[in-house]
Amino acid sequence: MEDQSIVSALILGLIEGLTEFIPVSSTAHVLLAGHFLGFKSPGNTFAVLIQLGAILAILSIYFQKLLSIALSLPTSARSRHFVLSILLAFLPAAIIGAIAHDFIKTVLFESPMTICIVLILGGLVLLWVDRLKLTPRYTDAMEYPLPLALKIGLFQCLAMIPGTSRSGATIVGALLMGTDKRSAAEFSFFLAMPTMAGAFALDLYKNCAALSFDDGALIAVGFIAAFVSALLVVRSLLDFVGKRGFAPFAWWRIAIGAVGLAALLIGR
């Protein structure tokens, strides 16, 4: 295992954690950075498996709330409703992800040009949504109606196109259907747990035979880096979104997409 590969894995892990829960598409950032760093992973598995670090980061931050919800399930209709809404929102991605897994990994993940274009288009959508004068009807993520949760889950499926952003798709979908920014971001956090855990398990099952010891070591480096950097982001994101909106993320997406496009065209 070369030192250069370890450094690349560290950089990619930091990028994963810093971008997973903000609407800029962590997968796009990791894939583009990996492309320009010359980092190779069997079946593009690295980009998916290091997400476990980000999952554990959000689990550690919300551990007390998750424990409280779990303990109150037998007696609290509110807790049962929230768990059901998360599972319902997760269902579309679970079904479509399982069916389209090979196409996503072998076609969409292999197209840096498409990723850059989607980054730019997603940034324009975020700018548009951020400027809409929306009146929130739902401000508590734990009380979203079940039909609303399912619709948010359908929006999440758009994130199977690298560059779309899982958090961006779910938050934008929620906002357009009447939620406020803070609760939309919080619901997206909780929905990330089963979604990313499911993607991790499926990808590991599909590619475990192709992974070597060195691959495992690189994934471990990326995992730790993603965990640490995700902790920093999740602790501050809700307040930032509530105060500043999504415009900073939109311009970032557009800038990265434009720079990536230029680099790809020049490199041809």
> Percent of the chain at pLDDT above 90?
37
> Where are the chain's structural domains?
3-267
Beta partners for 36?
Answer: none
Q: Render pLDDT for 229-262 as a digit per residue (tens, 0 to 9).
A: 888 887 776 667 666 778 888 999 999 999 999 9
Q: Render pLDDT for 3-47 as a digit per residue (tens, 0 to 9).
A: 558 888 899 999 988 888 888 888 888 888 888 888 876 556 777
Beta partners for 138?
Answer: 179
- Where do we find the tokens 């690298």? 162
Question: How far is residue 62 from each of residues 57, 75, 242, measured CA to CA in Å?
Answer: 9, 21, 19
Q: Render pLDDT for 82-101 as a digit per residue (tens, 0 to 9).
A: 999 999 999 999 999 888 87
Q: Report the greatest alpha carbon distance in the chain.
A: 62
Through-space distance between the first and last CA atoms of the chain, rounded to whole angstroms: 29
Model confidence band, residue 119 (pLDDT cutoffs 50, 70, 90): very high
Q: Which residues of 9-20 are buried (b: 16+ CB within 10 A; e: fewer)?
A: bebbbbbbbbbb
Assign 135 to helix, strand or coil: coil
